[in-house]
Amino acid sequence: MRVATWNVNSLKARLEKVIWWLERAAPDVLLMQETKLADGDVPRDQLARAGYQLVHHGSGGANGVAIASRGAATDVITNLGLPLDAPATEEAPDDQPLREARMVSAVFEGIRFVSIYAPNGRTVGSIFYQAKLAWYARLQRWLEETRRPDEPLVVGGDFNVAPTDADVWDPAACHGGTHVSPPERNAFVALLRWGFVDGYRRLHPEAVEPDRYSWWDYRAGMFHKNYGMRIDHLLATNPVAARIVWAEIDREARKGKPIPSDHAPVIVDLDQPGRALDAGWASADARIAQRRQPRA
C-alpha cells in the first residue's frame, strides 16, 4: 500500500496537478490539506474518474482536509469528534482552530487514517500561536481518549512544525519564529512519545540525508535554492511503521505548470514498493549547491 500526504493549497486551483500526480505516483491513499472547499464543492466526479473516492471535511475558506482512497473509506470522524461551530469572528478565524475544518479521519484497508492541517501560529506569543498549541493539546487528548498506540493508525498532514534543526534550511535564520519554537516541537515530540514513528525519518535519518524538505516559500527563489522546511509528516503507530519499506518526498511535484502547491507530497510504501518514481533530489543537488553560492 502506498500512502501519501500533500497540502495542495486549493484543490480547485491544483486539481489538474493533483490528477497528474495521482497518475504519476499511484497512491492507494492520499491525505490532502488546504482544499479550501466546502463539502458540496469537492470535485468528486473528476477524482472518481481517476479511480479515487473522497472523504472531505470543509466549509470553504482557507482550510479543508480530505482522504482520497482507492475504494470506500468508512467510520468517518471530523474535527476530533467535536461539532464544527461557525467562526465566532470573521477577522481572525485561525485564532479559533477548533471551529475550522482541520481534521478528518476514516478507516481504509484496516488502517485508520487521519488527515490534519495544523494552525500556522503566525507569530510566537500571539493569540494565533496560543491557539496552535491549544489545538495540538486537543489532538493529543483525542488520541489518548479514543485511540491506542497498538492499533494500525496513521496521522498525516501539514503539521506546521519542523521537528529538529535538520528539518530547516538555516536554523539560525529560523529560530525565533513559528514552526521551530520549543513548545511547538514539544507538541510534536509528545505525539511520538504517545506511540508514533516518523515514517520518513524511519528510512532517512537526519545525519545521512539532510536538506530534504516538504515546503518552500514561493518568493525569492526559495525552492530553487532549497531553502525550505520539512513540516509535512506521516506519523504511524508501530503496527504500520514496521511495514514501511520505502519513503520519499516528491520534489518533482513542486515544479512546473500549472502553478504547483508550495508543498510537496510525502510518501511511504507499506509491505512492498509502489510505482517507481524519481523524486528529483539526486539530479537537483548539484544545481542547488551552485545556486546557494554567493555571487562574486
pLDDT tens sequence across 177-217:
999 999 999 999 999 999 999 999 999 998 777 799 999 99
pTM of the complete model = 0.96
For helices 182-194 and 127-146, what crossing angle results, to 10°? Answer: 10
Model pLDDT, residue 292:
67
Nearest to 102 by CA among 81, 123, 122: 81
User: Can you give the length of the chain in residues?
Assistant: 296
Residue extents of the structural domains in the chain = 2-292
The residue type of 25 is A
Nearest to 3 by CA among 235, 238, 197, 228: 235
CATH 3.40.50.2300 is the classification of domain 2-292: no
Model pLDDT, residue 286:
77
Tell me what the mean pLDDT of segment 163-178 comes to.
92
Model pLDDT, residue 160:
98
Model pLDDT, residue 176:
86
Average the pLDDT over each of 80-84, 94-98, 111-115, 239-243 and give the range with the smallest value.
Answer: 94-98
- Give the H or E element holding residue 3: strand 2-7
Span 46-95, pLDDT tens digits: 999 999 999 999 999 889 999 999 999 999 999 999 998 887 776 666 78
The residue type of 223 is F
As a whole number of angstroms, the distance between CA 214 and CA 226 comes to: 10
Beta-sheet pairing, 196-198 with 215-216: unpaired
Average the pLDDT over each of 53-67, 86-100, 131-145, 156-170 and give the range with the smallest value.
Answer: 86-100
Tell me what the mean pLDDT of segment 124-151 comes to.
97
List the Cα angle 72/74/80 in 5-degree steps: 130
For residues 198, 164, 207, 3, the Cα torsion angle rounded to the nearest 10 degrees is 30
- Give the H or E element holding residue 198: strand 196-198
More confident residue, 83 or 289: 83
Model pLDDT, residue 296:
45
CB atoms within 10 A of CB 63: 23
Model pLDDT, residue 37:
97
Which residues, in sequence order, are bridge partners of residue 269?
Answer: 2, 246
For residues 282, 284, 287, 292, the Cα torsion angle rounded to the nearest 10 degrees is -100
Model pLDDT, residue 220:
80
Beta-strand runs (E) in 34-152: 53-57, 65-69, 74-78, 103-108, 111-117
**What percentage of the chain reaches a pLDDT higher than 70?**
96
Model pLDDT, residue 90:
67
Report whether pLDDT(101) > 70.
yes
As a whole number of angstroms, the distance between CA 93 and CA 65 comes to: 16
Mean pLDDT across the chain: 94
Model pLDDT, residue 91:
63
**Alpha carbon 44 to its chain's center:** 21
Q: Where are the alpha helices (DSSP H) in 35-126?
A: 44-49
- Name the DSSP class of 259: P
For 248, the grid coordinates are 520519499
| Cα four-point dihedral sign 240, 244, 249, 252 | negative
